[in-house]
């Protein structure tokens, strides 16, 4: 039996990394209308094992575990502390945003009606960023500009 040296093993592992594709992800994002690009993307990979475990627990809905308002505030304060310019300023609900989730047998992208005129462009950006093989848009007023988490309305 032939064994690889440590150097050969490391070289082989490095060459295999180029074939390592990202798994589909759930997460959140904002859309920069001027640059026609997503920003502030936060995501986590979703594996078949995670889907099966959630279904077995009777929880077929899988969501990214952080809210837009939490991420926005964290990014804002980080930029302030480092004296950097940031897109994370002002009211997070005034910037187009969305959420990628998994529900039973499909990916769903929750967005506001701001997305309707740019659906084709947004589809391409989301498919690439979140490595989604397919998804459907679900429009909800919560994601419209000026609307946010109910806890923000107090």
Residues 50-101: pLDDT tens digits?
888 888 888 888 999 999 999 999 999 999 999 999 999 999 999 999 999 9
Dist. CA 4–CA 12, nearest whole Å = 9
- Determine the distance from the C-alpha atom of residue 69 to the mean position of all C-alpha atoms in its chain, rounded to a whole number: 14
pLDDT of residue 32: 96
pTM of the model: 0.82
How many angstroms separate the Cα of 148 from the Cα of each of 26, 31, 59, 94?
19, 16, 24, 9
Q: What is the DSSP string of 27-93?
A: EEEEEETTTTEEEEEEEEE--HHHHHHHHHTT--EE--SS-HHHHHHHHHHHHHHTT---S--S-GG
Q: Using 50, 70 and 90 to split pLDDT, how confident is the model at 154?
A: very low
The model's pLDDT over 107-139, given as tens digits with 9 standing for 90+, comes to 999 999 999 999 999 999 999 999 999 999 999
């Amino acid at each position: 039996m032939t064994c690889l040296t440590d150097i050969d093993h490391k070289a082989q592992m490095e060459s295999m990394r180029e074939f390592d594709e990202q798994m589909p992800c759930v997460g959140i994002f904002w859309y920069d209308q001027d640059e026609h690009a997503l920003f502030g993307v936060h995501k986590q990979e979703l594996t078949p094992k995670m889907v099966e475990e959630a279904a077995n627990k009777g929880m077929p809905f899988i969501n990214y575990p952080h809210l837009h308002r939490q991420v926005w505030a964290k990014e804002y304060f980080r930029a302030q502390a480092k004296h950097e310019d940031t897109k994370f300023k002002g009211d997070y609900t005034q910037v187009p945003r969305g959420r990628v989730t998994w529900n039973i047998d499909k990916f769903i992208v929750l967005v506001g009606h701001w997305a309707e005129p740019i659906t084709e462009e947004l589809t391409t950006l989301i498919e690439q960023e979140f490595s989604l093989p397919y998804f459907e848009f679900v429009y909800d007023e919560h994601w419209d500009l000026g609307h946010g988490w109910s806890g923000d309305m107090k």
